[in-house]
Structures are given as structure tokens and as C-alpha cells.
């Protein structure tokens, strides 16, 4: 613009400058950095041409040398790095370039003459009158390219020559030809596949001819029973003439009795002569005409309407082809001022709709919609009530019409008439029941309330955002959600607009068929586009994402209505051809409509070959009664052929994916066949268009990256809340952990979890005995069992259920070699049981599973997955798809070479005597291939974190406790420790003595039940030592964090919170509430009573170092507040009750929190989010619910929370169970560089070798310390 002004005549340029100066002024302040300076320079340059002084920047900048008119013409290039041109401008630019290239290719001899800015000689001389602005794009003037040496003005480059343009055009044409050829080949392949599919499906349909003929014969022999007779007998034989006479008598009715009597006679007579004779008599048009005649008598009009009501009651479904078109007439009559007529019309409507065939719903709804928008409140009220009546018995069919029905109902909710408002509010719960989506049914009450009361919109959208979806959103589901989203987008409240935009995007991402989303696009897209101009950048960003998902969702638009219309038309014409004039045209049309609706219903769910074979007989069973009622002949020969033809045509019109599904299921016995499954958390779609197809007696291994929803899918399969999942199927789920209250024994727990018909004690004892539990062991507390015995308990409970489908989630996580082998043999011995197994132990998967199911997202991280089935074990899959197997979590053949020599000892240690312990050790320790994988990851983990390929884990520097100057000085000691669980004689730990320094990297090894977790808990204070047997000392300022075997142990009370809220709640008092739960810190109820006893200690309020002794200031009951006493630590231990040491330890924890800054560290969302980011918990995960996190993500969160207090020592029990290779590499690297002590229990040999400098081997109650290398000095 500046160039245009400076190159124009003075007056014109001055006017342009005057008009455009306000816009330039905005440009000079709205951009930043170089862009702002360039804009301002252009304004200064223009001002200087008209005596504008020094402009905005002060002295005029040095201008570039003028271009010689005879110099070579230059073409200005746009800045590729800062491209900010609107989409339309970019498209125009591309069109111009394409046109130029095409011209050059077609006219190579003239290209030099016609090229912009080129002379005929090709020397680039400027033509007379040509301006410098010619050929310059807006982007080049607004954002000039910045070189290494900045200059004022645009950077120029020579335009391509004619030969270059021709070569580019040829290359482009060649690429287009290749793309066209590839597309043509793909289309030909698809067409060939379609032809094969059609032939196969046609054979399936033809094979069902005999079945269809049998259905026609049986239906003819046993037609549906007509409605029960009223008991009224006609005085004469029924004939059409008698019907005519009764109608005439009704037309002369003068009072109510005559009107009712005449209507009853007409109804009984019509039922007697049949619908064919009734249609031939043209009685219905006469009755409707009489009812609408304004000058007719009031009782005569009422009688005409009542006659149709009686016909509907006496003829049943056979009357529907004739009566359905009359419904709109009844709706019009609802507005009559004469109450008798309006009431009669309402009665006739209820009679017709009350028994209406559900397949006819689509034919009657338009009349009800007309009534809902009529001016009469009575019409609105009765039509709303009629809609509720249909919802009661035509639930499935009515659901498809919700996108139109719901807006009509919402309009009535906002009606000023109280009766209309009440009727609309009452019908909402009825019609929402027509939605076949379990998630929507879960939120039914909230959605109903929100549609009635706008004040609850925000709460409902919040709940939608936190919902986990395993079912796609169809048009019926969206019909109840989109009104709330639109309401939110139109709101003036920032929070509601933001969440509504987010919810809109989430809902669009859950749509499988674009036709389900299409009805809402005309309203939703404009509202989202308005949100793009919102003042908040967050709202703008969410609206932008939502628009992308909206356009992506409707991208696969399929007009199912067009298919239905074509099939209905084909059915109508086929029936007319087959039966000629025997069937009235309106009857043929009616039969075609219900037949097409039936096919859409049958094939809208889950596609199987059995469905294809049975479709013709389903249509025949619907058509035969109507054809018989209207005099159809030769049904056995005519109807089967018509049914087969229309079903075959319908199958041909199905999408290719549906045809593949039908052809692929031929001859297979699927125990589960759930198609088009979806799995989504708020803002994240994990599975889309996934088909869960499990064959009977097959064992499936589900493999994929962490966080793709494997465990969540098993959870939802166990709940049977996925649409289409067989509800009769006996399903049992063996979870990766056993959650049980303290003090519950094995027998009681088993009885509680067993099915009612097998919960008797003899049965339970027998099953427990079969898996290895002796009578004495059955009285052991569940929480005292080792990991291996807990898994055996889970297996015993599954045996009680005798499942048809068995689900297992990480079953080998805490098993040693012998337990793992026992579980494998048990699973292989189950006959006829279908299994779905999730495990990172791929050797176990390979040994157990017959099929492999891969979560495939096409290699695009963050994209939804679908299932790819491989009928082979994991080792064969690994050979077939090595590139996929290499990227899986711990994807290698797991070989337990390291512990082969100890297998006999492990088997002995896992015997009945080793039960009372709550830890576990897994059978498989990664072999050499795992170590290579981990080592290769470790060697480049920092680069991978920097590039974003691996999410980071970065531990904070804890510093050193007071008085500890080196990494070799002890900070924790255990001396002569022995321990046995209450009520048991077996001593788990015997005379154990260990030392921990800040440089320690200790790994505890041993078999299931050996006592590894017990030793770890004694060390960190989660178990109290047996009184008088050994002691545990730790430095008074040593900060310790503990992560248990199962991440759920730390998160079980916070599942409905976000990770941010979890950390805020856990540390809100300035201390770690998880540390406060340790048994060496938590006072019992009896100990709390001792706090008030005279002579005892009630509180510790101070601490001092006096020489080598630590002294504590205590408060005793009965003394004045300031009358405190000081005691050395040894005296408090020896002279006072044990609870006093808990008070001491609690006071130490307070001082530790103050020293680490924990007590004053702000628990703001920003501070916590920064901390979470250091541990690879993204902002998206941080703002979602914890219950929606995968096992690996929860493990990251738990580790992150444990380091909020900056501990000097971290104790981890089985930290690698849920981590993939990349996360494991990041954790290993973080532990290696951590400036504190590490004590861990782990079964992963590669992980152990990388981090450990010391091993504690727990065996037969003893602890053997193996020093691998000295603690590293830092």
C-alpha cells in the first residue's frame, strides 16, 4: 500500500494516505518485533512523500537505491517462515501460478513474451507505465523477508525462465498423472472387491429362499390375531352397503348417544368386511369430509371422527395403510373451538398411535411436528403427549428422528403457556429413553434437567467433559447434547463458552458416520465461527479445534436417507408389479416404507452373515399380513422373490466396509461381535471404528502402546455397557491387583466375590483347594498374601464364575517363575473359554494366546486406533511385523536366563509357608534383548527427550540433610531386625541389618513371599517393628517418599480429581498426607486417649542438638502451657510409651517440610503444572480426571507427587510394571542422576543392572547384602 501511494500522482496518493492512515496506525502497533518496525517504516516512507516530517520513527530511514527502469525486472518473494495470508488469498495465488505454468507449457515460444515483467528480449526491461507494485503479493509487502544483514524494503529474486516454468508444469502434470493412475487403480480394485462381495452376498440371500417360503406359509396359516372384539353383534350380515347405511345414520346424529352408537356400528361392520372392502367403499374420504365440514352438525362431525377411531380399534395394523395419511387431518381438528370435535380428534389420534407399528413412526411424525408449531396451545399439548406415547412402544425407531424432534420439544419448553411447557418438560424423559447410548443414559437425569433449566448447563457440560465414552455418538445422542452446546456458545459467560467449545469438539470427534453430525452443522458451525472472534485466546483455540473436528466428522458423509428412499421406491414398484391392482397404491407404498425402515434397523447394528440370510424372512413376516388383508394372491411364489431382490439391492448399496464385515464373518462363531466401537476420554479419542470380534475358544493378546486404552477397554467389556455387547454372556475380569479391606480372610473374600449360586462354603473350599490353598491358608488375611498367591486367589474366584469370556489385565506383574508357569498351564487347560489378555510379558502372551490384536493408528501418534487381527501367536506376529513389535512396551522375547539356576528355590519359596507377605516378584526378567533395548534407549534418552520423542522425568535436587556432607555417610540403619505378622508363627525377617547412604542404589531381590516388600516397609516406616526385636534408625532430617506396588494405593481416594487437584489435596496442609499414613507415624485410637493422661506426653513442640544427642521439648497434660520439659531422645524411647516416638517422628516430619520449602511452597495450578511437566504429565492430562489415566500415566503421576517434597530417599516397589521402554529409559536415567538414595523392589533385570550398586537378597527370612560397586561420589 505504501508503494501504491508513493507511486501515485500527488493528489491521488494524498487522498489514499488520508483514508488509509488509521489502518496503518493500527498496523504499526498491533504487530511485534521486526513486523512492527517494517509497518511503521512503510508509513514513514509514505508520509515523507507528502511532507510528513520525520514520521513515526524519527529521522527518515535510509531508502534503497532506485531501480533503474532499464534494469532487469525483479519478482518479490513471500516470506515462507512467517506466512500470514488468508486462505482465500493463498488459493488465488495458487490459481494464478497454475495458470501461468499452464500457459508456459502450452505456448513455450510465447512464454518469454508473456511472462510478467519480461521484455521480448528477455532482459527484464520495464514497460512504460509499469509500476513497481506489479506482481507483488500482499505478504511480501507486509512481511518482507529478513536476511542475515537486515535491509529496509523487500528482498527480490529473479523470476523463473520460460524453460523452468515449462519443466515445472511438466513435472506437475506427471505427478498429477501418477496420482490419477493410483487413484484409478485403487478405485478399480475397490470396484472389483465390490463385485465379489455382491456375488457372495447374493448367494447368501438366495440360499434363504426355502426359509422365506416357510415363513410365508406359516404366516398365512397362522395370521396375526385381530384386536379383541368388543362383544357387540350386528343385527344384520355385514356388507359394504350396511356400512354405507351406518355412516349415513351417523351423519344425521343429533345427540351424543346417536353419535357413539353409529360409530360403534361402523367400526364393527368395517372389521367384518375387511380393509380391502373398506378401501373399495371409499368410506374414509367421506368420513374425513364430513368431519371437516364446518356447516355440518356438531354431533355429525363428532360421529365421523369417532367412526375412524372405532375402525382403528377393530381393524388394528391392517387399518394403518389407510389411516396414517389421515393423521394430519386430526391434528388440524385439534384447533376446533367446539370441544366435542377437538376431544374426538384427540381420542382418534390416541387410538391410532397407541397401537401403531413402530416401523410407521416416520410417517406420522411430520403431522405431530405441525401440531407442535401451531398457534393453538391445545394442539401443541396433545402432539407432545402423542410423541411421548410413541416413545413408549416405538423406542428404537423413534430414536432416529430425535435431531428434528428435540428442537421442536425445546421450543415448546420455552412456550409462554404453562400447559405446553409442562407437557414438553414431561416428554423429555420419555424421548431421551429412545437413545441407544449407555453414556447418554448414564447422564439422562442431568441432560433432562439441563434442557428444562438453563442454569444447570455448565454442570452438565462439565460432566460430559469428564465422561469416558466407549460408544459412538449417533444423531439421537447428539440431539440431546447439541442444544446445550449451542446454548453455551451463545452465553456471555467466559467459562461456559470455553467449555461448550471444548465439548463441541469432543462430541464431533466421537461421531463415526458423518450423516449423524450433518443435521447439526448449519447451527453449530456459525456459532463456532463466532467464537473464533472471542476476546479470549483460549476460547479461540478451542473453537478452532472444534471446527476442525466438525469438518473432519462430516467428511465421510453418507446419505442414508437416500438409500432408504431408493429401497422404499424399489419395494413399492416391485410389489405393484407382482400383485398388480390387487394391492392399492397406498398399501404398496406403505409396505415399501416399512420394509425399507426394517432393513435400515436390521443393518444399523452389527453385521453378520446370519443377518443377511434372515433379512428376507423378516420382511416377508411383515408383508404377509398386509398383503392378505388387502387380497393378495399367490404369496408363496411372489413375495419371496421380491424380498430377495430388495435385500440384495440393499446389500449392494452398503458401504464397502460394511460389505467386508459381512463377507468376513461367514462361517465364524463369534462369541463377541461389537462393531464400530469407540473409546474416548475428554478430548482424546483412543479407539475409533474398532471392531471387537472374538471367536469362541480363541485366546486374544491385546498389544499396543501404553495409554491407548487397553485396561479401560477390559473394564468396559466387564461392565457390558458397550452397545451391542451380548448381555447374556458370562464374563469375568481378573484385574492386575486385588483390592481388599484390612482384616478380611481368604474364605470370606472369596464368598463375597463368588456368584450367588456358588457361594456356599463347600464349593468355595473345594475350588481354593484346587488352586493350592490349604485349610489353614484359607483363614489367612488377603492383604498378607504375596503377589503370586493373590493371583491364585483371583483365578480361584474366576473358576467359581465359570466364565465364557475371561479378561486378564497384567496377570504376571507380581509372579515368580513357578507362579507364572502355574498360571500358564491353568489358562491353557480351560476348554471352550474365550480370553482377552493384556500383558507386557510377551513371552507369556506368546505361550498362551492363539491370536494377536494390534492397536493400530497407522503410525501416527495421537491418532485414534483401530484393531487389526492376526491369527497367530506373538512370536509369529513379531516375525511378520518386526517394525511394530520393536516399538511395543518391553517388546522382546522375555527369557528368564538370569534366574534359571534359582528356579527350584523359587518354587520352594512360593510354597504354602511363604504366604504372609504383600509383595511380588515376576517370573520373567528381561533377557539380553531387553537389556539391549534399554541400553540403546539410555544412550540417547537426553536427545530423545529434547526432541520430544520421549516425555521427560526430571528429579529435583534434594540437597543433603544437616550434618551429612558425603554420599557415603549412613542416613538410615536397620539393626538386628526380626519381624512376624500378627497371629502367625512364621518369622518373615530374621536378624536383618542393612545400611543406606545418599549414594545407595539398592535393589531387593527374592521369590514371591520371601519378604522383600515387608523389609522395604519396615525400613521406611510403613510397618511397625516387632516390639523389642531390632530397630530402625534414620537421620532426623531425612525426607523419605514411598511408592507402593500398585499406583492405585496412592490414588484410590482421588480418582475423581485432576492430577493438579490431587497434588493440592495431598499437600494442602504443608505436609505429605501419604507419609502421615505410615504406621510409625499414625496414632491408634488407644494411643490418642493416652495423650490426655497425667504424666504422659501430649505434644512435641521443639528440638535441639546438644552434643551428639538430640533433645525434644514436650508438653504434658495438667501443666501450664509454657511449662514444657526437654528430654533426650534415648530417654523418650526407653521411659515412655511407644506412641511418644510417633509424636517425635511427626515433629521431625514438620521440620523436614519446613527445610525442604514444602510448608511454604505454593500449591498453585501454575507451580504444580510446571512440576508435572518435569515428569511427562502434559497439561491435557493434568486437567483430566485421574480415573481416565492409563497405568503408565498413573505411575508417572505417583512418582511426580512423591518428589514434590524433594525427598532424600525414594523407595519404590515394582515401579516398572506399567511403563513402556521409553518411559522406563527416562525413569532409569533420572534415578541414575538422582542426588539421593534409591531403594527399590524390581523384577526387571535390565532396570536392576542399570541403576543398582547394591543388592539385598531376601531368602528364608535372611537378608544378604551384595555390594556391586561403591556409592558414587558426586
pLDDT in tens, 595-622: 999 998 888 766 777 888 889 999 999 9
Residue range 1155-1182: average pLDDT?
80
Q: How far apart are CA 1043 and CA 1050, in angstroms?
A: 8
Which of 107-121, 275-289, 707-721, 1141-1155 holds the top average pLDDT?
275-289
- The pLDDT of residue 544 is above 70: yes
Q: Which residue has the cell 493350592?
A: 772
What sign does the dihedral 403-404-409-414 (CA atoms) show?
A: positive
Q: H/E element holding 1213?
A: strand 1209-1213
- The pLDDT of residue 707 is above 70: yes
Phi-psi region of 861 (alpha: psi -120 to 50; beta: other; left: phi over 0): beta
Q: H/E element holding 291?
A: helix 283-292
Tell me the per-residue pLDDT of 339-386, one tens digit each, with 9 for 90 and over. Answer: 999 999 999 999 999 889 999 999 999 999 999 998 889 999 999 999
Q: H/E element holding 522?
A: helix 521-531
Q: Which residue has the higher pLDDT, 959 or 483?
A: 483
8 A C-beta contact, residue 265 and residue 312: no
Q: Which residue has the higher pLDDT, 1233 or 1158?
A: 1233
Tell me the per-residue pLDDT of 909-958, one tens digit each, with 9 for 90 and over. Answer: 333 334 444 343 333 333 344 444 455 556 667 777 777 777 889 999 88
User: Could you tell me the pLDDT band of residue 1008, with boundaries at 50, 70 and 90?
Assistant: confident
- The pLDDT of residue 227 is above 90: no
Tell me the per-residue pLDDT of 33-77, one tens digit each, with 9 for 90 and over. Answer: 444 445 555 555 555 544 444 443 344 444 444 444 443 334 344
What sign does the dihedral 201-206-210-211 (CA atoms) show?
A: positive
User: Could you tell me the pLDDT band of residue 147, with boundaries at 50, 70 and 90?
Assistant: very low
Cell output for 963: 550434618
Beta strands in 162-226 (DSSP E): none
- The pLDDT of residue 155 is above 60: no
Cell output for 210: 426355502
DSSP for 654-672, please give it. S-HHHHHHHHHTTT--EEE
Q: Bridge-partner residues for 281, per DSSP?
A: none
Tell me which residue of 1069, 1044, 1078, 1092 sits closest to 1202, measured CA to CA: 1044
Q: Which residue has the higher pLDDT, 114 or 667?
A: 667
Angle at which helix 656-664 crosses helix 162-206, to 10 degrees, equals 40
| Beta strands at 1109-1115 and 1099-1106: parallel, antiparallel or unpaired | antiparallel
Say how many CA atoms lie within 13 Å of 573 toward its Cβ. 8
- The pLDDT of residue 430 is above 60: yes
- The pLDDT of residue 1258 is above 70: yes
User: Could you tell me the pLDDT band of residue 16, with boundaries at 50, 70 and 90?
Assistant: low
- The pLDDT of residue 216 is above 70: yes
| Beta strands at 1254-1259 and 1001-1005: parallel, antiparallel or unpaired | parallel
Which of 802-816, 1177-1191, 1219-1233 holds the top average pLDDT?
802-816
**Which residues touch 118 (CB under 8 Å, ≥6 apart)?**
73, 112, 124, 159
Predicted confidence at residue 120, as pLDDT, reads 36
Residue range 389-411: average pLDDT?
91
The least confident of 202-206, 421-425, 1169-1173 is: 202-206
User: Could you tell me the pLDDT band of residue 331, with boundaries at 50, 70 and 90?
Assistant: very high
What is the maximal distance between C-alpha atoms in the chain?
Answer: 124
Distance of CA 129 to the CA centre of its chain: 63
Angle at which helix 283-292 crosses helix 298-315, to 10 degrees, equals 140
| Beta strands at 684-695 and 834-838: parallel, antiparallel or unpaired | unpaired
Tell me the per-residue pLDDT of 638-683, one tens digit each, with 9 for 90 and over. Answer: 889 999 999 999 988 888 888 887 787 666 788 998 888 888 876 6
Angle at which helix 609-629 crosses helix 656-664, to 10 degrees, equals 110
Predicted confidence at residue 708, as pLDDT, reads 82
Distance from the first to the final alpha carbon of the chain: 64
User: Could you tell me the pLDDT band of residue 458, with boundaries at 50, 70 and 90?
Assistant: very high
- The pLDDT of residue 135 is above 80: no
Q: How far apart are CA 574 and CA 619, in angstroms?
A: 13
Predicted confidence at residue 93, as pLDDT, reads 57
8 A C-beta contact, residue 964 and residue 998: yes
Which 8-state DSSP code applies to residue 81? T
Q: How far apart are CA 916 and CA 1261, in angstroms?
A: 12
- The pLDDT of residue 830 is above 80: yes
Beta strands in 346-432 (DSSP E): none
| Burial group, residue 825, by CB count within 10 angstroms (0-12, 13-18, 19+) | exposed
Q: Which residue has the higher pLDDT, 396 or 134?
A: 396
Tell me the per-residue pLDDT of 86-109, one tens digit each, with 9 for 90 and over. Answer: 555 555 555 565 555 544 544 544
Predicted confidence at residue 133, as pLDDT, reads 35
Residue range 1007-1019: average pLDDT?
84
The least confident of 216-225, 293-302, 895-904 is: 895-904
Q: How far apart are CA 1098 and CA 1114, in angstroms?
A: 7
Q: Which residue has the higher pLDDT, 1094 or 259?
A: 259
Predicted confidence at residue 64, as pLDDT, reads 43
DSSP for 644-710, please give it. HHHHHHHHHHS-HHHHHHHHHTTT--EEEEEEEEEEEETTEEEEEEEEEEEETT-EEEEE--TTSSH
Which of 125-134, 398-407, 1089-1098 holds the top average pLDDT?
398-407
Predicted confidence at residue 1056, as pLDDT, reads 81
User: Could you tell me the pLDDT band of residue 847, with boundaries at 50, 70 and 90?
Assistant: very high
Q: Count other Cβ atoms within 10 Å, centred on residue 1233.
A: 10
Tell me the per-residue pLDDT of 739-779, one tens digit each, with 9 for 90 and over. Answer: 777 778 899 999 999 998 888 888 999 999 988 888 888 88
Record the pTM.
Answer: 0.65
8 A C-beta contact, residue 1149 and residue 1132: no
Predicted confidence at residue 1180, as pLDDT, reads 79
User: Could you tell me the pLDDT band of residue 1119, with boundaries at 50, 70 and 90?
Assistant: confident
Residue range 1148-1174: average pLDDT?
77
Predicted confidence at residue 66, as pLDDT, reads 42
Predicted confidence at residue 2, as pLDDT, reads 53
Amino acid at each position: 500500500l505504501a508503494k501504491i501511494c508513493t507511486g501515485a500522482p500527488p493528489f491521488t496518493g494524498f487522498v489514499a494516505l488520508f483514508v488509509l492512515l488509521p489502518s496503518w496506525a493500527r498496523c504499526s502497533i498491533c504487530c511485534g518485533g521486526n513486523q512492527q518496525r517494517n509497518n511503521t517504516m512503510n508509513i514513514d516512507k509514505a508520509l515523507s512523500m507528502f511532507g510528513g516530517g520525520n514520521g513515526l520513527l524519527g529521522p527518515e530511514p535510509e531508502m534503497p537505491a532506485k531501480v533503474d527502469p532499464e534494469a532487469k525486472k525483479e519478482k518479490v518473494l513471500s516470506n515462507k517462515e512467517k506466512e500470514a495470508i488468508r486462505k482465500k488469498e493463498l488459493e488465488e495465488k495458487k490459481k494464478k501460478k497454475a495458470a501461468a505454468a499452464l500457459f508456459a507449457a502450452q505456448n513455450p515460444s510465447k512464454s518469454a513474451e508473456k511472462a510478467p515483467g519480461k521484455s521480448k528480449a528477455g532482459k527484464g526491461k520495464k514497460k512504460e507505465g509499469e509500476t513497481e507494485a506489479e506482481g507483488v503479493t500482499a505478504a511480501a509487502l507486509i512481511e518482507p523477508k529478513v536476511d542475515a544483514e537486515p535491509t529496509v524494503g523487500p528482498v527480490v529474486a529473479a523470476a523463473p525462465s520460460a524453460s523452468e516454468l515449462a519443466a515445472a508444469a511438466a513435472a506437475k502434470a506427471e505427478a498429477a498423472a501418477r496420482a490419477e493412475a493410483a487413484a484409478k487403480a485403487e478405485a478399480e480394485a475397490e470396484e472389483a472387491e465390490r463385485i465379489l462381495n455382491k456375488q457372495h452376498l447374493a448367494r447368501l440371500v438366495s440360499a434363504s429362499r426355502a426359509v422365506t417360503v416357510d415363513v410365508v406359509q406359516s404366516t398365512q396359516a397362522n395370521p396375526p390375531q385381530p384386536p379383541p372384539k368388543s362383544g357387540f353383534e350386528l343385527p344384520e350380515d355385514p356388507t359394504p352397503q350396511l356400512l354405507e347405511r351406518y355412516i349415513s345414520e351417523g351423519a344425521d346424529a343429533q345427540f351424543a348417544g346417536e353419535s357413539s352408537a353409529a360409530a360403534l356400528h361402523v367400526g364393527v361392520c368395517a372389521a367384518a368386511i375387511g380393509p380391502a372392502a373398506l378401501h373399495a367403499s371409499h368410506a374414509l374420504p367421506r368420513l374425513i369430509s364430513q368431519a371437516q365440514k364446518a356447516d355440518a352438525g356438531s354431533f355429525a362431525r363428532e360421529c365421523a371422527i369417532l367412526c375412524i377411531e372405532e375402525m382403528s380399534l377393530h381393524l388394528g395394523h391392517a387399518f394403518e395403510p389407510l389411516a396414517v395419511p389421515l393423521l394430519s387431518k386430526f391434528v388440524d381438528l385439534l384447533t376446533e373451538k367446539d370441544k366435542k370435535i377437538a376431544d374426538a380428534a384427540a381420542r382418534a389420534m390416541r387410538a391410532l398411535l397407541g397401537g401403531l407399528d413402530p416401523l410407521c413412526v416416520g410417517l406420522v411424525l411430520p403431522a405431530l411436528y405441525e401440531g407442535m408449531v401451531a398457534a393453538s396451545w391445545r394442539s401443541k399439548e396433545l402432539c407432545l403427549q402423542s410423541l411421548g406415547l410413541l416413545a413408549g412402544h416405538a423406542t428404537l425407531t423413534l430414536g432416529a428422528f430425535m435431531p428434528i424432534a428435540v428442537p421442536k420439544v425445546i421450543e415448546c419448553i420455552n412456550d409462554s403457556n404453562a400447559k405446553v411447557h409442562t407437557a414438553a418438560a414431561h416428554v423429555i424423559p420419555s424421548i431421551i429413553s429412545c437413545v441407544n447410548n449407555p453414556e447418554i443414559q448414564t447422564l439422562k437425569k442431568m441432560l433432562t434437567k439441563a434442557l428444562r433449566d438453563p442454569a444447570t448447563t455448565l454442570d452438565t457440560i462439565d460432566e460430559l467433559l469428564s465422561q469416558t465414552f466407549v460408544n459412538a455418538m449417533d444423531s439421537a445422542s447428539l440431539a440431546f447434547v447439541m442444544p446445550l452446546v449451542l446454548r453455551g456458545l451463545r452465553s456471555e459467560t467466559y467459562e461456559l463458552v470455553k467449555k461448550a467449545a471444548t465439548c463441541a469438539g469432543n462430541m464431533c470427534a466421537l461421531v463415526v458416520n458423518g450423516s449423524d453430525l450433518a443435521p447439526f452443522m448449519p447451527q453449530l458451525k456459525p456459532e463456532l465461527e463466532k467464537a473464533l472472534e472471542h476476546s479470549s485466546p483460549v476460547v479461540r483455540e478451542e473453537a478452532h479445534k472444534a471446527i476442525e473436528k466438525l469438518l473432519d466428522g462430516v467428511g465421510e458423509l453418507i446419505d442414508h436417507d437416500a438409500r432408504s428412499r431408493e429401497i422404499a421406491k424399489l419395494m413399492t414398484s416391485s410389489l405393484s408389479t407382482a400383485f398388480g391392482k390387487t394391492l392399492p397404491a397406498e398399501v404398496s407404498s406403505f409396505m415399501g416404507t416399512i420394509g425399507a425402515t426394517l432393513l435400515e434397523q436390521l443393518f444399523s447394528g452389527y453385521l453378520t452373515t446370519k443377518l443377511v440370510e434372515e433379512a428376507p424372512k423378516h420382511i416377508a413376516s411383515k408383508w404377509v399380513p398386509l398383503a392378505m388383508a388387502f387380497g393378495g394372491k399367490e404369496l408363496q411364489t411372489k413375495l419371496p422373490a421380491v424380498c430377495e431382490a430388495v435385500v440384495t439391492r440393499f446389500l449392494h448399496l452398503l458401504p464397502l466396509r460394511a460389505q467386508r464385515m459381512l463377507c468376513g464373518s461367514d462361517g465364524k462363531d463369534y462369541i463377541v461381535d461389537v462393531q464400530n466401537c469407540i473409546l474416548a476420554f475428554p478430548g482424546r479419542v483412543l479407539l475409533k471404528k474398532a471392531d471387537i470380534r472374538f471367536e469362541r475358544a480363541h485366546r486374544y493378546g491385546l498389544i499396543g502402546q501404553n495409554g491407548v486404552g487397553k485396561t479401560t477397554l477390559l473394564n468396559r467389556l466387564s461392565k457390558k455397557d458397550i452397545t451391542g455387547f451380548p448381555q447374556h454372556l458370562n464374563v469375568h475380569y481378573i484385574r492386575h491387583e486385588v483390592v481388599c479391606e484390612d482384616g478380611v480372610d481368604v474364605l470370606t473374600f472369596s464368598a463375597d466375590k463368588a456368584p450367588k449360586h456358588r457361594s456356599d462354603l463347600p464349593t468355595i473350599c473345594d475350588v481354593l483347594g484346587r488352586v493350592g490353598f490349604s485349610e489353614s491358608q484359607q483363614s489367612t488375611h488377603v492383604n498378607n498374601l504375596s503377589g503370586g498367591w493373590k493371583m491364585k486367589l483371583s483365578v480361584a474366584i474366576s473358576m467359581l464364575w465359570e466364565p465364557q469370556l475371561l479378561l486378564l489385565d497384567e496377570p504376571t506383574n507380581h509372579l515368580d517363575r513357578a507362579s507364572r508357569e502355574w498360571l500358564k498351564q491353568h489358562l491353557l487347560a480351560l476348554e471352550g473359554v474365550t480370553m482377552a489378555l493384556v500383558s507386557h510379558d510377551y513371552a507369556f502372551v506368546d505361550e498362551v494366546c492363539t491370536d494377536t490384536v494390534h492397536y493400530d493408528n497407522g503410525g501416527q501418534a495421537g491418532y485414534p486406533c483401530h484393531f487389526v487381527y492376526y491369527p497367530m501367536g506373538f512370536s509369529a506376529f513379531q516375525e511378520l511385523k518386526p517394525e511394530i513389535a520393536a516399538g511395543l512396551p518391553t517388546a522382546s522375547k522375555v527369557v528368564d536366563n538370569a534366574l534359571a539356576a534359582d528356579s527350584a528355590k523359587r518354587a520352594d519359596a512360593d510354597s504354602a509357608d511363604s504366604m504372609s507377605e504383600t509383595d511380588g516378584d515376576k517370573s520373567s526378567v528381561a533377557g539380553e534383548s531387553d537389556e539391549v533395548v534399554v541400553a540403546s534407549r539410555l544412550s540417547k534418552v537426553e536427545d530423545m527427550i529434547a526432541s520430544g520423542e520421549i516425555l521427560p522425568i526430571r528429579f529435583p535436587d534434594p540437597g543433603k540433610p544437616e550434618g551429612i556432607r558425603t554420599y557415603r555417610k549412613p542416613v538410615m540403619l536397620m539393626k538386628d531386625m526380626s519381624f512376624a505378622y500378627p497371629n502367625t508363627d512364621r518369622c518373615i525377617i530374621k536378624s536383618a541389618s542393612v545400611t543406606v547412604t545418599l549414594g545407595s542404589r539398592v535393589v531387593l531381590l527374592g521369590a514371591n513371599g520371601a519378604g522383600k516388600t515387608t523389609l522395604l516397609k519396615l525400613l521406611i516406616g510403613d510397618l511397625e517393628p516387632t516390639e523389642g526385636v531390632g530397630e530402625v534408625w534414620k537421620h532426623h532430617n531425612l525426607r523419605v517418599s514411598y511408592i507402593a506396588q500398585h499406583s492405585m494405593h496412592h490414588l484410590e481416594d482421588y480418582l475423581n480429581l485432576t492430577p493438579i487437584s490431587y497434588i493440592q489435596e495431598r499437600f494442602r496442609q504443608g505436609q505429605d498426607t501419604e507419609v502421615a499414613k505410615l504406621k510409625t507415624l499414625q496414632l491408634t485410637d488407644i494411643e490418642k486417649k493416652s495423650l490426655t493422661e497425667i504424666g504422659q506426653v501430649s505434644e512435641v513442640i521443639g528440638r535441639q542438638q546438644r552434643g551428639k544427642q538430640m533433645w525434644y521439648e514436650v508438653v504434658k497434660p495438667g501443666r501450664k502451657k509454657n511449662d514444657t520439659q526437654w528430654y533426650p531422645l534415648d530417654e523418650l524411647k526407653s521411659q515412655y510409651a511407644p506412641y511418644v516416638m510417633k509424636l517425635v517422628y511427626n515433629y521431625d516430619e514438620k521440620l523436614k517440610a519446613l527445610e525442604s520449602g514444602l510448608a511454604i511452597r505454593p500449591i498453585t495450578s501454575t507451580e504444580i503444572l510446571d512440576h508435572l511437566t518435569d515428569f511427562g504429565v502434559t497439561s491435557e492430562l493434568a486437567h483430566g480426571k485421574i480415573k481416565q489415566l492409563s497405568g503408565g500415566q498413573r505411575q508417572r503421576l505417583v512418582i511426580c507427587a512423591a518428589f514434590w517434597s524433594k525427598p532424600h530417599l525414594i523407595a519404590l516397589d515394582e515401579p516398572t510394571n506399567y511403563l513402556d521402554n521409553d518411559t522406563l529409559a527416562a525413569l532409569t536415567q533420572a534415578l541414575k542422576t538422582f542426588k539421593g538414595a534409591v531403594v527399590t523392589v524390581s523384577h526387571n533385570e535390565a532396570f536392576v543392572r542399570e541403576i543398582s550398586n547394591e543388592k539385598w537378597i531376601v531368602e528364608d527370612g535372611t537378608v544378604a547384602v551384595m555390594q556391586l560397586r561403591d556409592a558414587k561420589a558426586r
